């Protein structure tokens, strides 16, 4: 079972979209918990998280979320990212093999224009991250935020699709 971690800052609307895509995983018993690691929101992010039944951490960031997570595998997502139907089967197959970290396949609707692909670097967490709690804890111990944990890892790309979140301001 997965613990889902989402790092937020003034992302109430984006968080609601992401949480909606996780409902199927919760119903199937794949998502054990959702932990929202806030970085100083001044909007209603905490209400969205609490009304959806998430654990809301106002302090400590992603490191605190990893420490509190109960699952052996973590799913890190950006607020606003949406997983396509059927993602749970692919993730469960992957985690059953106890292999390396993984990310989702970018949906066609999320493809960036050609010029943007060659002139800018993609965000490390934009395709999500499935990682063991132990591996994430090691990365977080070195002071990495959620984006930093995903950066530089060798990853497998899952067949399940993700609609990436819009660029954060």
Query: Running DSSP on this structure, what letter comes out for residue 54?
Result: -
Give the containing element (helix H, strand E) for 92.
Answer: helix 87-96
Integer angstrom CA distances of residue 59 from 5, 28, 94? 14, 30, 31
Sheet holding 2-8, edge to edge: 55-57, 31-38, 2-8, 73-77, 129-132, 101-106, 155-163, 82-83
Architecture field, domain 2-163: Alpha-Beta Complex (3.90)
Contact 21, 160 (CB under 8 A): no
Q: In angstroms, rounded to a whole number, what is the distance separating the alpha carbons of residues 76 and 20? A: 15
Report the largest interatomic distance among the alpha carbons of the chain, rounded to a whole angstrom. 42
pLDDT computed for residue 156 by the predictor: 93
Q: Write out the chain's pLDDT in tens, 169 residues.
A: 899 999 999 999 999 999 999 999 999 999 999 999 999 999 999 999 999 999 999 998 899 999 999 999 999 999 999 999 999 999 999 999 877 899 999 887 766 665 565 666 677 788 999 999 999 998 888 777 888 888 878 899 999 999 988 876 4
- Helix and strand tally (H, E) in the chain? 7, 8
* pTM score, whole prediction: 0.90
CA dist 118 and 145 (Å) reads 26
């Amino acid at each position: 079972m997965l613990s889902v971690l989402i790092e937020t800052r003034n992302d109430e609307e984006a968080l609601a979209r992401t949480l909606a895509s996780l409902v199927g995983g919760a119903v199937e018993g794949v998502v054990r918990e959702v932990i929202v690691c806030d970085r100083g929101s001044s909007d209603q992010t905490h209400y969205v998280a609490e009304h959806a039944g998430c654990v809301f951490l106002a302090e400590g960031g992603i490191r605190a979320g990893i420490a509190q997570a109960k699952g052996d595998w973590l799913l890190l997502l950006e607020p606003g990212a949406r997983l396509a139907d059927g993602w749970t089967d692919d993730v469960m197959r992957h985690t059953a093999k106890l292999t390396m970290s993984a990310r989702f396949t970018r949906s066609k609707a999320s493809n960036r224009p050609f010029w943007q692909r060659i002139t800018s670097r993609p965000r490390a967490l934009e395709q999500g991250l499935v990682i063991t709690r132990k591996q994430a804890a090691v990365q977080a111990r070195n002071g990495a935020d959620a984006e930093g944990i995903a950066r530089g890892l060798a990853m497998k790309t899952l067949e399940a699709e993700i609609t990436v979140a819009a660029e954060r301001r």
